């Protein structure tokens, strides 16, 4: 409960800083405010998929059901935040490029990433009752973990892109002034805590469902 209250305060503070306090960027204008939502959403999606992959590796090594719950829950959160990343990116694209979707390399790569994890949900529905189903799901998520960094960080940089320079470019320079850095940091922390809270809630749901199945059996 304390973590939820802290995150609620941080979320409110973040929204105030984004929409009322930080000045618009020199070239992008008020559309730059989308950055403070788009980047944290993308970060949480990436974090969630990494956690799912690591939890799957642990399940393969130790065969502990808790690791499977971590992986399954984290994938759900990562997929949801990926969709929000696409939506915020599409809003920015509409304003800047005149179209919600342009098949830019970054848009294409995240579409492929969503399809990979959408396939995981289909796989789960097919094999989750099978004795070997959990292991098959875990192997799939490990493979997805290998593919995700390529689609997120490498593939978009192989071709010319309409997407603006990344916040941290290839020279390692952070292209933000101090006010923008602070607002982005607060937003990233707020959304990261939200991920932790959601993960905890989903894990409790999995435990409850497991307890109910044991009681019925």
**How would DSSP label each residue in 40-82?**
HHHHHHHHHHHHHHHHHHHHHHH--HHHHHHHHHHHHHHHHHH
- Give the start-to-end residue ranges of the domains of the chain: 2-216
Which mean pLDDT values do the consecutive 10-residue runs of the chain (217 residues) have?
A: 92 92 72 86 94 96 90 95 92 79 79 92 88 90 88 66 52 64 93 96 86 63
CA separation for the pair 217, 215 (Å, rounded) = 5
Contact yes or no for 175/165 (Cβ under 8 A): yes
**CATH fold for domain 2-216:** 1.20.120
Backbone angles phi, psi at 173, to 5 degrees: -90, 130
- Residue 167: what pLDDT? 46
- Residue 210: what pLDDT? 72
Contact yes or no for 51/81 (Cβ under 8 A): no
Contact yes or no for 77/198 (Cβ under 8 A): yes
| 174 dihedral zone (left: phi>0; alpha: psi -120 to 50; beta) | beta
- Residue 163: what pLDDT? 61
- Residue 41: what pLDDT? 94
- Residue 51: what pLDDT? 96
Task: Provide the greatest CA pair distance for the chain.
Answer: 64
Through-space distance between the first and last CA atoms of the chain, rounded to whole angstroms? 33
94 token code pair? 């509409």
Question: Is 0.85 surpassed by the pTM of this model?
Answer: yes
In angstroms, what CA-CA distances link 58 with 52, 205, 207? 10, 21, 18
């Amino acid at each position: 409960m304390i973590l939820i209250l802290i995150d609620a305060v941080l979320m409110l503070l973040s929204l105030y800083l984004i929409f009322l306090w930080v000045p618009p960027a020199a070239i992008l204008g008020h559309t730059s405010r989308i950055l403070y939502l788009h980047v944290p959403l993308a970060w949480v999606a990436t974090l969630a998929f990494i956690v799912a992959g690591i939890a799957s590796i642990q399940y393969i090594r130790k065969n502990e059901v808790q690791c499977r719950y971590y992986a399954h829950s984290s994938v759900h959160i990562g997929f949801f935040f990926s969709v929000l990343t696409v939506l915020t990116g599409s809003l920015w694209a509409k304003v800047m490029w005149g179209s919600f979707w342009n098949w830019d390399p970054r848009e294409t790569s995240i579409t492929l990433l969503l399809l990979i994890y959408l396939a995981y949900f289909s796989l789960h529905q097919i094999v989750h009752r099978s004795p070997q189903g959990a292991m098959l799901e875990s192997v799939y998520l490990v493979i997805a973990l290998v593919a995700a960094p390529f689609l997120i960080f490498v593939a978009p940089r192989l071709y010319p892109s309409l997407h603006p320079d990344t916040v941290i470019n290839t020279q390692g320079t952070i292209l933000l002034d101090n006010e923008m850095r602070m607002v982005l940091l607060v937003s990233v922390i707020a959304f990261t805590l939200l991920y932790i809270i959601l993960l905890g809630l989903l894990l409790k749901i999995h435990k409850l469902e497991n307890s109910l199945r044991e009681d019925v059996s």
